[in-house]
Amino acid sequence: MNFSVAVNHLIDKSEGGFVNHPSDKGKATNWGITQKVYELYKGRAVSLDEMKNMPKSDAIAIYKKEYWDKIMGDSIKSYAIAYSMFDQAVNGGVSSAVKMAQEVAGVSIDGKMGPITLGAINGINETNFVTRFYALAEKRYRYLATNEGPNDKDQDFIEGWLNRAKNIREYALSNVGKTAGIGGAIILTGLI
């Protein structure tokens, strides 16, 4: 299983469709790509009409470059782990997803994906990883939806986030034993 399988599942089951929720800090969203992210990709401001008509191919290119590649999805052996990290990178940011993975894997938490984190992730029990990873995701969601979180408007999203975590955890657990990326090969060239 690879990025193509992951991104199509993500778009079909968790993201997709145009949304312009007033409480969303990312502004308008299509295919799960926020207006802020799309503007960075385009290198300019984009209109609401452009957001509504974003080609799916643009969303896929963004998901590959800004999320899958940054979590080193092609080098993670387990599809269940790679997909879990990909989902949370998209939903909460790459650094946040990596920090949760580092906590589960028992390595230094810095939010940066590198060879030590990759090695630890590739050596961990998949079922344990997914279960603990999504417990952390749920904890993060609950924090974001409280008045202690950075934006009390996030309360609007808690039910959807918790449903997403439940559904993705179940999907990931149903894929335990399947390899990700390029057959689970580890590519460490150029890493520090």
Across the chain, what does the average pLDDT equal? 84
Q: How far is CA 116 from its chain centroid?
A: 20
b/e map 111-121, b = 16+ CB within 10 Å: eebbeebbebb
pTM of the model: 0.82
CA-to-CA distance for 24 and 8, rounded, in angstroms? 23
Q: Could you give the residue ranges of the DSSP H alpha helices within the chain? A: 3-13, 35-42, 48-52, 56-63, 79-92, 94-105, 115-122, 126-144, 158-173
DSSP 149: S
CA-to-CA distance for 57 and 175, rounded, in angstroms? 26
Which residue from 43, 25, 45 is spatially nearest to 34, judged by alpha carbons? 25
The band of 94, judged by pLDDT with boundaries at 50, 70 and 90, is: very high
pLDDT digits (tens, 9 = 90+) for 47-73: 999 999 999 999 999 999 999 999 999
Give whole-number Cα distances, 16 to 8, 68, 83, 132, in Å.
10, 17, 17, 27
- If one counts every other C-beta atom within 10 angstroms of the C-beta of residue 21, the result is 13
The band of 15, judged by pLDDT with boundaries at 50, 70 and 90, is: confident
CA-to-CA distance for 22 and 177, rounded, in angstroms? 41
The band of 97, judged by pLDDT with boundaries at 50, 70 and 90, is: very high
CA-to-CA distance for 31 and 34, rounded, in angstroms? 9
CA-to-CA distance for 125 and 118, rounded, in angstroms? 13
